[in-house]
Structure 1
Amino acid sequence: MVIHLPGELIESSVFSAVMQDLVLMHTFGIRLLLVAGSRPQLNQQLKMRNLSPQYKSGLRITGTEELQCAMKAAGLVRFHIESFLGRGIINSPGRNRHVNVASGNFITAQPVGVRNGIDYKYTGEMRRLNVPKVVSLLEHNDIVLISNIGYSPSGEVFNCLSEKVASKCASQLQSEKLIFLHEGEELIDIRTNQRVQALILAQAQEYLYLTRNDNAVSRNFRSYLEQSLYACMNGVTRSHLVSRHVDGGLLQELFTRDGAGLMISKNIYEGVRMAKTSDIPGIMRLIQPLLDEDVLVSRNQEQIETNVDTFTVIERDGAIIACAALQLYEDKFAEMACVAVDPSYRSLGKGNALLGFLLRKARSSGVDKVFVLTTRTSHWFMERGFEIATIDQLPISKRMTLDLKRQSKVYMMDISSKRALDEKELLLQMH
C-alpha cells in the first residue's frame, strides 16, 4: 500500500495520531510505502532566504538556491516522520514496539526541462522506482519512506512533485491501494444530497473535465484526483482520498463498512448493457447447454421474449458472451437468475462483471437483498459474497411459485449499504 503524506500534515495537530494509525496498520501486517511531500516546508525555507516561490503553468521553477531549500525541507520532513514512527505504538504493553523505517535513494529522476520556452531547471519528474530493493525491504517488515527528491544516474538532484512520485511508485509496485490525505474536500451528489463515496475512472475524469475552470476546486484536490486516475489506469486496484483532519480517518476508510473518504476504482463493466429483442437468439445459444444439463430452470424462447427487459448481457464483437436476469420482488428483494457465460470467457472475469453490474442495478432500484437459487454453482456465489439462506427468507410471492422438486439451495447478499456494495465490487475484481 502506498500512502502520500503531504507536508501540511507534518505541521497539523493530527500528525501524531496519523503516525500511530500507520504503526497500527504496520502491526496488522500491511506493507507500507510512504511518500512524503514538503511543499510548505520548502516555502518556509525560501522565506528565510527572502526568496519567493516561482511557478509557471502550475509547476514550480527550482533554481540552485531553491534546490538547496528543497533538499533541506525534505530532510527535515523525513527526520520528523522517522522519529515519530520509530516510537512504535505508544503505551503498548508488548516488547516489540520498535518499527524500522527504511529511507534512501530509491527513485531515479530526470529534469522536466524546457517547456513553452520556460526552463524549469532542477524541477524533475520521477522515472523509476528501485522495485526489487523496495520489495525486499517491505518483505523484511520495514516501512519504506520516500521523499520528493530524486536523483539521476549521473548524480544530479531534482525536486519532484510528491503526488506524482506516489502515483508512479504505486503503479510500478502494482500496489493494491494508493491513498492521499487531503484537506477535507467532499463531493456531494446533488440528487441525494449525500457524500459521494466512490467513483469509477470515467466519472472521475468527467468531474475533472467539468471543473477544469472551477476555482472552488483546490489545486491539491485536483492533483490527488489526477494522480489517482493515473495510478488506477496503470495497474493500481484502487485509490482513496481521505481527509487528514478526521481522527482515525485512515483506519475508518480501510476497515469500516462505510469508510471515511472517496474511493476511485476501475470500471469492470465494459460491454455490459441491457438486453434487446435482437439479443434473444444469442441468449438462447448461451443458456441451451445449461438447460439441457438441468443446471438452469427450464425456459423456452417465448419466455425469454416475454421477460427480455429483465436481462442484462455482455456483448463482444457483436456476439453475446454472457447473460443474466434480475427479477424484482416485494419488500426490496430481487432474484438473479439465468446466469450464463460463454465457456471461452469464463476465466476472464465476465461473470464477475455481470454480477457486479446487476448488484448496482438492483441497488439503484431500491433493492436491499439479492438472492439466487442454484443446484450446482453454490461455491461460485459464496466466493463472491453470497451467504447461505433459507426458503423462509424469500419473499412470499417467490415462495408461492418455487419448484421444490428441484431442491435448489438459497443464497442471499445484503446490498443495503452502498459502501459495502463498493467493497463487494472490488472483491469481484480480484477473482
Structure 2
Amino acid sequence: MSISVRWGRHAAALFAAAVLFLMGRPTQAAPGEQFVPLATYRVGAYASSGIPVWAGIIDYLRYINEVEGGINGVKLVWQECETEWTAEKGIECYERFKNGLNGAPVGPYLPNGAPAAYALSDKATADKIPLITLGYGRTEATDGSVFPYNFPLMLTFYSEASVFINYVAQKEGGFDKLKGKKIATVYHDSAYGRETQGPLALLAKKYGFENIQIPVADPGNEQSAQWRQVRQARPDWVFLRTWGVSTPVAIKTAARFGYPVNRIVGDIWASSNEDVLPTGEAGKGYLALTPYPGGADFDIHHRLKKHILDAGKSDLKDPKSFGSVYYNSGLIDGAIVVEALRAGQKKFGQRPLSGDEARWGLEHLQLDDARLRQIGFYGLMQRLSLSCSDHEGGGAARVQQWDGRQWNLVTDWVQADRATLRPLIDAKAAAYAKEKGITPRDCRKDS
C-alpha cells in the first residue's frame, strides 16, 4: 500500500473520530456554565442501543437551554467522547472530562456502560464526582453510606431480578405456584450479565423454583448451543439478560429451536425497538421489563417535538426512534441530571455546582407525581426518592409486549421485593468496605 493511500485512510479515520467526539457539542464552555460530559458509544456492537440514548439526553439538555434558559439561568454545555462500551476507553474519557471543560465544572457523570461504571467506582469517589448508572452498575452502591458517589438509580439488577420473579408469580397464579418450576436465565457473560445470579439464587431458595443459568459470550452473534440447552432443559420461563446484537440473535434462535417467545422476558437492556425490529415475525409476543416505557405521547415528547424536533435541532438521526425505549431512557438520564443539579442549587445557590455539590443534590432528589407533571415526565418515569442510605430510590418496572410493530404495556408497575434483597446488598457493601478499608458514613447525621 502506498504512503499516500495509508495517509489518506489515516486522515479519514482521524476526521471520523473528531466528528464523533464533537458531535452534539454546543458552544464553547464559558464561566457560569455547567458541564455535562457524555461518554458515548456510537460505534461498535452496541451502537444501535447507544445512539438513541444520546439523542434523548442531548435533545433534553438542548430543550433546557433553549426553552427554559438553563437551570435557574445556568446554561449547560456538553461534549462527547467515544468509549465503544469498553472499560479502557471509558476510563480515558473520564480522565479527559473529570476536571470540567474550559472553566465549566463537571457535575454528575454518566459512565453509560457497566464495564466503565465498575472501573470508575474508586476513581469517582476519590475525585468526588457522582456516577449516575440508571438501570445498571453496582447494585451494592444502593448503600450510600459505603458508596457516597455511586447512584444505581431507579432499578438495580437485583430489583430487576425480583420484578421478573414477581411478574412470573402473577402469571402462574401466586408465589406458591413457583415451587418446582424451571426458570432459566440466558445472560451476557459480563459483570452486567452475572449481576442477577445472587438475587435469583436467593429467590429460588425462597420460592422453590429451579434456577438455571446459561451464559452467552460477548458479543453473542451465535447462540445455538445456548438455546439447544434451553430446549433440553424445557424451562417454564426464560429471563433474557442480553445486550446489543445478542438480543435479536437470542430471540431468533429461540424461535428456531421452538421455544415460545411469549415465555421469554427480556431485561431492561433487551427491551427497546432496536432489539426487536431485526427479529421480524419471530419477535411477536416477546416480553420485556422497562422502567421507562416506549411511546411518544407523553407531555415531554410534545414539548420536544415543538421546540426541538420540528425546529430541526434534534440529535436524532432516525425519526422512527423518537419515543423508543432507549430514546426515552436518554430523556430520563437528562432529567435526572437536571433535577439533581436543581436540587443542589437550592442549597448551594443558583450557579454551576461541583461534583460533591451535585452528589448532595442527588441524595436529596425527590420526584413526586406533581413534580413529574411539571417537567412533563408523568407516566414515563416512576416516582423517585433518594437519600444517603438509598441510592436506588425506585425499584419498580412495567412489563411490555412486542406486537411486531410497537410495544404495548401489559402490566402496571411491578414492585421489587426490596426488603428481601436488602440484606444481600448490605452484606456486599460491608464486604467492599472491609476490603477497601472504608468507614461507612452515618446516614442519620450525613443528610
Larger RCO: 1 or 2 (CA < 8 Å, sep 6+): 2
Q: TM exceeds 0.5?
A: no
**TM-score (norm: length of structure 2):** 0.22
Instruction: Give the strand-richer structure, 1 or 2.
Output: 1
**TM-score (norm: length of structure 1):** 0.23
Instruction: Give the helix-richer structure, 1 or 2.
Output: 2
